[in-house]
Amino acid sequence: MADIALLSGAAHAAEDHATGTRTDSRRTYRSFLTDSTYWDSYRPRPGDIVISTPAKAGTTWAQRIASVLVFRSTRLPGPLAEVSPWLDCAFVPLEQTLGLLEGQEHRRFIKTHLPMDALPVHPEVSYLVVGRDLRDTALSTHNHALGTSRVPFPPGPAGDDVHTPGHPAIPEDVREFWRAYFTRSAFPWESDGRPFNSPTHHLESWWHHRDEPNVLLLHYQDMLDDLDGQMRRVSAFLDIPVDEDLWPELVEACTFSDMRADRRQIFGDGATGAVVSSFQFFHKGRSGQWHGVVTEEDLALYRAAMRRLPADLRTWLSRDEG
């Protein structure tokens, strides 16, 4: 645990604005969407759960799974977006999010899209990470980014260290979006993921610590293929016993059909709910949706991004020779 603990550091450490690198080894991410400095105010509790995923790789799905396990119920005390707040969300005031977290008496589970090197990492906190085939993530991100770009987006942080301060224009053409997604990022030190941060860097940052006892990696495809089995993995990881009498109901509540039917319980009526209510947040929820949409030339960009990853991570993530 010594290596993982080295990533924790003092608040407000100095940094190089060009690279986002801080003297405490954490990297600062500030954009229209995210502000990693919000984590400087985080005060962990033993048992906290941090759900860290690239955008559109199963974040809300993992939050929903955590919710039914923590509460042992399909019903929540409030919208999932409030019960499991997104701490580094740049368009929600930090004081509001911290107030939600400090007032919670249940076991807390917190959302982030940040990679491991942007977070303070604590041995008493559990980290749940989800990976997804980047080709499907790209198409789902296109749907999401196009949707959010069509509504007035709340203002994000300001300052010289803010990269991509406004929501970029998103092309209607998915192939044009794909080319940007696999060659650019919201941050100059990353090489893919635009208009958000890099999914390759995000997953690699956790991959090297996947054997730590407080880190669990899940794959989106495994969750599609065997939701029951993957939820049992999460249950064991979080040390939450399975109640077999309740279990079928809990698993059903984590299917895409149930989550789509219960959007209000998921998002509520706040800032997040207002943004996502204008488009289909839960996109197709399946794998292989890129077939027949992009060309071999487009896929070459995806493969180039994948080649930057360790071979074992490439194999785990893609599940094919693509």
What are the residue numbers of the active site? 113
What value, to the nearest 5°, has the Cα angle with vertex 314 and ends 311 and 317?
A: 150
CB within 8 Å of 44: residues ≥ 6 apart: 120, 122, 124, 125
Count CB-CB contacts under 10 A for residue 130. Answer: 24
Q: What's the CA gap between 46 and 36, in Å, rounded?
A: 21
Half-sphere exposure of residue 133, counting CA atoms within 13 Å on the CB side?
A: 20
Q: What's the CA gap between 185 and 194, in Å, rounded?
A: 4
What residue ranges in 78-163 does DSSP mark as E strands? 109-112, 126-131
Measured in degrees and rounded to the nearest 5, phi and psi for residue 92 equal -115, 130
Strands 21-22 and 109-112: unpaired
Task: Tokens for 26, please give them.
Answer: 């954490």
Based on the number of CB atoms within 10 Å of its own CB, is 112 exposed (0-12), middle (13-18) or buried (19 or more)? Answer: buried
C-alpha distances out from residue 190 to 73, 105, 193, Å: 40, 38, 8
User: Which sign, positive or negative, has the C-alpha torsion 251, 122, 43, 201?
Assistant: negative
Closest to 145 (Cα-Cα) out of 120, 123, 171: 171
